[in-house]
Amino acid sequence: MGAYFIGAHELLGWVDGLRESTRIIGPVAKRQRFVFAELESAAQLRLDYDVTILPPKKVFFPPKQQILAFDSERVSDCIDPVPTVLLGVHFYDVKGLDMTDFLMRERYEDWNYLAQREATTIVASSVQSVAPRAFWGSIGAHVRPQGHDAMLTKVSEGYVLETRTPKGERLAGLERFRHATDDEVAGAERVNAAVMDQCSQLMPYDSKEIATKVRESFGNEELWDDLAMDCFSCGSCNIVCPTCYCFDVRDSWNVDQTSGQRTRYWDACLTREFAAVTMAGGQKENFREHHASRFRHRFMRKAAYLHDKLGGPACTGCGRCAAACTANIADPVRVINTIMGVTL
């Protein structure tokens, strides 16, 4: 596909132009932090953000998503994708979407997710500012971001837009863009390579080594009790994670008491009742009763269980869990380095 250049002063005009025909979701400021939200004007766009509170996964898999509607006669579904341009996604979040894309397609295709995914054009953007807890420079370096349609890189004087798919190509109208020179493309490449060095190397291990050692640590109860010691079972690490996709399903009624909806909500495997089953007499059988077993399960999934399937860790290094953790114990850098340093 093509490579284009747009002047810094033209960028907002381009975004506002796109906004006339389609919904645009991009990073905007929310108090001191950033979130992905629908742009009301291009001026809200903050491509200089470090990390958003929630990953862009929420566009396809919202925290609360109606999956069925019912009345006394029938049950119908609610898949209703909205054509969208998702603008300004950092490469680590593109990798997160690659993983959820795979997991939502695997075995049973979940079109409640995939329909919106297919209706969306993703424009990735270069990282201009590194979040304090980010460690994407240290994890899954061999996994390349795939699922974006174009890549926007800030270079001096403007931006280079490299299109990766026909969907991305359609965004680059030549009234505002011109073809990029080879120097400009090389410059963009240098910018994206240089930013990797700004995120210091914190875990000097190969992800396969990590997967093996983490899996072998399963039976080391003392280790996991220690690692999970202050866990409040709040599930904050799950909620902010780009690769967590567990959910709960609940029904609710409309005021007429004959119609209603089935809705899925994000769920968190760290919470106490996540694996509990109600047995006879209302007793619960909780298959992960202890908080350390839930904490361990999350790391087993991210580092080991999903590793072979995804060809790398189910972690993008975004650092959101580390920043969100109430007890400041969820940081994968701390957990993985501890495990790697322990003789099992």
Partner 1 sequence: MTKDEAGFDNIFLPREAKIIRTSRPTPSEKHFTLQLADRTSLDFVPGQILEVGVMGYGESPIGIASSPTRTDSFDIVVRTVGRVTTAINSRDVGDSLWIRGPLGHGFDMDELRGHDVLIVAGGIGLCPTRSLIQYILDRRDEFGRFTLFYGARDPLQLLFTEDRLEWRRSDAIDYHETVDRADATWTGNVGVIPTLFHKTAHISPDTRVVICGPPVMFKYVLIELDKLGIPRENIFVDLERRMKCGVGKCGHCQINDKYCCIDGPVFTFAKIWELEEAI
Q: Which residues bind partner 1 (CB under 8 A)?
A: 67-68, 70, 75-77, 79, 103-104, 106-112, 115, 218-219, 245-253, 260, 262, 264, 267, 269, 274-282, 285, 287-288, 293, 297, 300-301, 304-306
Nearer to partner 1, 190 or 215 (CB): 215
Q: CB of 201: closest distance to partner 1 in angstroms?
A: 29
Q: Are 51 and 319 in contact, with CB atoms under 8 Å apart?
A: yes
Which C-beta is closer to partner 1: that of 12 or that of 79? 79
Within a 13 Å sphere around the CA of 33, how many CA atoms are in the beta-carbon half? 12
- The smaller minimum CB distance to partner 1, of residues 3 and 239, is found at 239
**9, 43 Cβ separation under 8 angstroms:** no
Contact present, 89 and 148 (Cβ < 8 Å):
yes
**Where does the chain show beta strands of DSSP type E?**
3-7, 23-30, 33-38, 64-70, 75-77, 84-89, 120-125, 150-155, 158-163, 178-179, 247-253, 260-266, 276-278, 284-286
Q: How much is the CA Rg of the chain, to the nearest whole Å?
A: 22
Structure tokens at 256: 């007429």
Nearest distance, CB of residue 218 and partner 1, angstroms: 6
Instruction: Show the 3-state SS of 227-280.
Output: HCCCCCCCCHHHHCCCCCCCEEEEEEECCCCCCEEEEEEECCCCCCCCCEEECH
CB of 114 to partner 1, least distance (A): 8
Nearer to partner 1 (CB atom), residue 40 or residue 248:
248
With respect to partner 1, which residue has the nearer C-beta, 186 or 277?
A: 277
Other C-beta atoms closer than 10 Å to the C-beta of 14 total 20
Instruction: Give me the least distance between CB of 247 and partner 1, in Å please.
Output: 5
Minimum Å gap between C-beta 270 and partner 1 is: 11
Nearest distance, CB of residue 220 and partner 1, angstroms: 11
From the CB of 283, what's the least distance to partner 1, in Å?
A: 9
Tokens 């991009």 -> residue: 26
Instruction: Name which of 44 and 259 has its Cβ closer to partner 1.
Output: 259
State residue 201 phi and psi, 5-degree precision: -75, 110
Is the distance from CB of 134 to CB of 317 less than 8 angstroms?
A: yes
Cβ proximity to partner 1, 154 vs 288, nearer residue: 288
- Rounded to whole angstroms, the Cα distance separating 146 from 123 reads 11
Residue 227's alpha-carbon distances to 95, 288, 329, in angstroms, are 27, 16, 7
Nearer to partner 1, 145 or 313 (CB): 313
Compute the least distance from the CB of residue 78 to partner 1, in Å. Answer: 9
**Cβ closest to partner 1, residue 249 vs residue 327:** 249
Least distance in Å: CB of 209 to partner 1?
Answer: 18
Cβ-Cβ contacts under 8 Å for 308 (sequence gap 6 or more): 211
Distance CA 167, CA 110 (A): 22
